[in-house]
Amino acid sequence: MLDIYKYEQPILYNILNNSIINNKLSHAYLFDSNGNSDVYDIVLSFTKMIITSNITNETEKNNICMRIDDGNYVDVKVIEPDGMWIKKDQLLDLQSEFSKKSIEGSKKVYIIKSADKMNIQTANSILKFLEEPIDEIIAILVVDNINLMLPTIISRCQVIKLNKKPLSLDSIDNFSAYFFQSKYALLTETEKKELMESAVNFIHHIENNGIDTLIYTKKLWHNIFKDRDLCIVAVNLCIYFYYDVVKYKCGLNNYFYGDKLSEISFVSGNNDYDELIKKIQILDRTENYLKRNLNINLLIDKMIIDMCGDDYEDS
């Protein structure tokens, strides 16, 4: 079900697949589409895995999946905006319906599409539902703009952020088209490569020196990535390096940083999957904060501290 996204969304795939295998499902997920139009297909695939996880009969499993696709499976409820907004009454009806015992299986799933299109009253209604989770009921919220969500809702969900593009950005040309827009469109290929080298150098210090990287932040970061837009570019470059490390662990090829295999191999040996996922999530979060005009120096310091987590606590 999710296997078709294994290569395009390796982080997402590992998080969701492992949660099913290890029976460690969260009570609530928030899928940030990040502009990726596949988000709802991915959510439906995950929902099918949740509902059919304990079913061994393939015919029965396929039948359930078809009913979910057709919207005819009672224990899966999909809510989407009624007009421009999701209405409070829609959520009240959901709560009433899902307060009853599961009819078909052991789990119920409700999906709220465009969950970022809720007013305060509606958002508070879903918040109450999330604050008092009911066993075997799983919420999946799908958003295009996570910044429109209440922080209290975000904090109660496991955030799953899709890749902006499939991980086939393996050339400088694609990199140029993707990262360097507006005022950076005229950078030379040499300048772009230098920025990529600087991002890898920063990661090298993180992986080798841990929290001591803070001492060299000005040299490694601020003197190179001199404004907010360049900082966002740099964070994305770091994300794509760690994506390469995940691909390396999966035995895949076609790397963004194809000339950095020795460094990729080293970082792979230095981190397990969970550590790589954590670092990518920290970088994703930093990118979002940078877009909110928060203090750059403090954000980068916090990013380093968070990425060095255990190392920082042991010091």
Architecture of the domain defined by 3-161: 3-Layer(aba) Sandwich (3.40)
- Is residue 19 within 8 Å of residue 26, measured between CB atoms? yes
Give the dihedral of Cα atoms 99, 105, 107, 109; nearest 10 deg: -80
Asked if domains 3-161 and 172-314 share a fold, the reply is: no
CATH architecture of 172-314: Up-down Bundle (1.20)
Residues 6+ away with beta carbon under 8 Å from 250: 6, 10
Cβ-contact 27, 138 below 8 angstroms: yes
Task: Enter the pTM of the model.
Answer: 0.59
Chain segment 270-288, per-residue pLDDT in tens = 998 889 988 988 998 898 8
pLDDT at 99 over 80: no
Report the amino acid identity of residue 66: M
Percent of the chain exceeding pLDDT 70 equals 90
Question: What are 254's two structure tokens?
Answer: 């076609």
CB-count exposure of residue 80 (10 Å: 0-12, 13-18, 19+): middle
Domain boundaries, given as residue ranges, for the chain: 3-161, 172-314
CA angle, 97 as apex, 96 and 99 as ends, to 5°? 65
118 bridge partner residues: 86
The pLDDT tens digits for 118-138 are 988 888 888 988 988 888 899
Say how far apart CA 222 and CA 27 lie, in whole Å. 40
For the stretch 135-174, pLDDT in tens is: 889 999 999 989 889 999 999 999 998 886 544 444 445 5
pLDDT at residue 178 greater than cutoff 80: no
pLDDT of residue 210 exceeding 50, the answer is yes
Place of tokens 């694609």: 174
Task: Report residue 152: phi and psi, to 5°.
Answer: -65, -30
